[in-house]
Chain A
Amino acid sequence: ETGVTQSPTHLIKTRGQQVTLRCSSQSGHNTVSWYQQALGQGPQFIFQYYREEENGRGNFPPRFSGLQFPNYSSELNVNALELDDSALYLCASSSTSVDEQYFGPGTRLTVT
């Protein structure tokens, strides 16, 4: 059974640029959630995708957007990067039949 994978591992961007992060869900899972974890804090929910549609969103601005593909993999896009966007971005996959979520290793984004 393949776990959740994310790419890239690390990324450095300049303020104002755009970034795309990628996630492959665990085998058998059809739902993907994205979380932002600032240094020293707990993860914050960004949004969740199910059947290629966003079905829930946390308190994040529209410049955070996403996609889910037919194979259940997902992308997180962030436009007009700000310094405060520097964080670990975590992807989690789950199944509609259970309520636990399984996390990938994360992408460390640094905005300078």
Chain B
Amino acid sequence: GDSVTQMEGPVTLSEEAFLTINCTYTATGYPSLFWYVQYPGEGLQLLLKATKADDKGSNKGFEATYRKETTSFHLEKGSVQVSDSAVYFCALSRVSSGSARQLTFGSGTQLTVLP
């Protein structure tokens, strides 16, 4: 079945440091790939997405490129801020049972940015 593997956390960085969170996936066909962010006590917010190979999703300074040859979708940001502290989830979407388009998530990576 489908699966998503994320870099183990937690990750602690100083403000303005470079961020990389690794994500690899296993899926049949051509899934869409997503990064979601979850702030303490809240639901998930869509951060960015890519729907086909070599697409780059970007939002709020975060970027990720859909690499089919390495089945990866690593999240990067050039200069993190304290406000980026949250849990980040990599996910894939594919039509599965019935006609449902379900999301399969990784286990999440806790990011803490220190001032």
Contact = CB atoms under 8 A, between A and B. Distances in A.
B44 to A, nearest CB: 4
B61 interface: no
Q: How large is the interface on B (under 10, 10 to 19, 20 to 34, 35 or more residues)?
A: 20 to 34
A20 B101 CA distance: 24
B103 A45 contact: yes
Contact of B98 (A6, A43, A55, A106): A55
A33 B101 CA distance: 9
B43 A99 contact: no
Q: How large is the interface on A (under 10, 10 to 19, 20 to 34, 35 or more residues)?
A: 20 to 34
Interface of A: 4, 6, 33, 35, 40-45, 47-48, 50, 54-58, 90, 92, 94, 99-106
Contacts of A40: 107-108
A100 B89 contact: no
A6 B44 CA distance: 13
B99 interface: yes
A56 B99 contact: yes
Contacts of B102: 33, 45, 48, 56, 58
Interface centre among B43, B46, B91, B93 (most CB of A within 10 A): B43
